[in-house]
Chains A and B, each alone.
Chain A
Amino acid sequence: AQSVTQLGSHVSVSEGALVLLRCNYSSSVPPYLFWYVQYPNQGLQLLLKYTSAATLVKGINGFEAEFKKSETSFHLTKPSAHMSDAAEYFCAVSDQRDSSYKLIFGSGTRLLVRP
């Protein structure tokens, strides 16, 4: 079964520092990949998605992610963290072999931004 691993339940960075949130998937067939952000007491909002086009995907709020098939990874980065980036981030996959196209989420990474 498809699964998603997010390394690090909490990541803390200083304002202005690089943000790196890790995501690895388990599948021999590259899935569709998504990053969602969740602010407190809100639903999930799509940051970006990979659907087998360009391997470097740019999203909203200055975030981007790179699909690396050899590493089965889809890490999320942002060059300079802002206080407003503090939130929980979820990586999700959609298995190409699953006819329901459902999303399988990782356990999430909470990003803390220090002033």
Chain B
Amino acid sequence: EAGVAQSPRYKIIEKRQSVAFWCNPISGHATLYWYQQILGQGPKLLIQFQNNGVVDDSQLPKDRFSAERLKGVDSTLKIQPAKLEDSAVYLCASSFPGTRGSIQYFGAGTRLSVL
């Protein structure tokens, strides 16, 4: 079974530039999550989708971050414009069926460096 796919693996940009990350969840997983993991910290949820609808985006900095999950499968997370403090690993996870106690499966992440 294929796992959660993310690309790119690494990205280096300058502040005020834009960047986008892509995630393809495990086939059949209705719930998709984007986490931000800053060096030395645990992952923090940015946004959660159930199919193509947003369940929780309370910690997403909406002035610069946006995410979409068209057709309820792949998802894209965008940062525009990036700040130095956005340097982190961005992890995508998926689960089925997204109920309490269900296991979240993580991708390898995209490491973003903002210079």
Contact = CB atoms under 8 A, between A and B. Distances in A.
Interface stretch (A13-21, A62-70, A78-86, A90-98): A90-98
B18 to A, nearest CB: 24
Q: Chain B interface secondary structure, helix, strand, loop or mixed?
A: loop
A96 B100 CA distance: 7
B77 interface: no
Contacts of A96: 100
Interface residues of B, number: 25
Interface footprint category on A: 20 to 34
B108 interface: yes
A105 B48 contact: no
B60 interface: no
B114 interface: no
B42 A105 contact: yes
Contact of A102 (B4, B56, B99): B56
